[in-house]
Every structure is written in structure tokens, then in C-alpha cells.
Amino acid sequence: MDLKLFIMLPGTSSVVNAKSISKNGGKCTYRSLVRINENAKNSKSSVSCESLMLDDISISDTIPTNDIRTDEVEFSHEASIGKISEKTIFYLMSRGLSEEDAKAMIVRGFAHPIAKELPVEYAVEMNNLINLELEGAIG
């Protein structure tokens, strides 16, 4: 994913939330440029990148470029790359879920912030696609 965001006017705000899920050796690269110009005083910008790895051979990289040209702004960038926690799987299994259902629940929960912004028809299709992709594929 490539993103270019230019903040030019005072009092502007932006929020970028990027999410990726990788499996079967998948590779994801988030590359961005956020530029806050000199005139954009009292602006706010927040960038968050989250990656969920479903195996040991997938790769995710975050390559941000943050070009902040004034001191009178609030800017934050965070990135996290993680795997499904075995402790979380164990906990969900102790509550009666199968291992496959527990992993699927975690992936759907990770994707939920995106799904809730979509029209219902698209959210249903996204969840169906996640379920189809996860059938017997997580391990």
C-alpha cells in the first residue's frame, strides 16, 4: 500500500488506519509520505499500521516518511506487527471453541474496524471471504 498525504492548511486533521493480514508467505509493505507544511499550524495527524501474520514465513514492512515542517502540530505514527497469540487461542478453546474457530474469531476481530465502516452487504462478503480463506489454512 502506498499513501501520500499532504496537510497544507491550519487546523487540518487526518487519521490513517492501515491493516493487513498475511498468510502462506504473503508480503505486505506499507509505504507512506505524510507532509505537514509550514502553514498548517495547529494541525493533527495520526497514522497507525497494524499487520497480522498467520504463519512464520509471511513478511510485513512499514516504511513511513514523515515530513513535518512546523513545530505547532500534533503528529503520531505507530506500527505493530504480530502473530495470533497461543495464549489467546488456549483461552478461547477453554471457552468451548475449536482451534480453527478461535483463530477465525481473532482474524475477524482484527478486521472488524474495517468491516463496520462498510455497507452491510460488503461487510458480509468480507467476512465470508475471511472464513473461506481461513478454512484449514491457519496452522
pLDDT tens for each residue of 66-108: 999 999 999 999 999 999 889 999 999 999 999 888 988 999 8
3-state secondary structure the chain: CEEEEEECCCCCEEEEEEEEEECCCCEEEEEEEEEECCCCCCEEEEEEEEEEECCCCCEEEEEEEEEECCCCEEEEEEEEEEECCHHHHHHHHHCCCCHHHHHHHHHHHHHHHHHCCCCHHHHHHHHHHHHHHHCCCCC
Query: pLDDT band at residue 136, thresholds of 50, 70 and 90?
Result: low
- Per-residue model confidence (pLDDT) at position 132: 83
pTM above 0.85, yes or no: no
- Per-residue model confidence (pLDDT) at position 1: 72
Query: Rounded distance, CA 86 to CA 88, Å?
Result: 5
pLDDT tens for each residue of 106-130: 998 999 998 888 999 998 998 888 8
Q: Does the pLDDT of residue 52 top 80, yes or no? A: yes
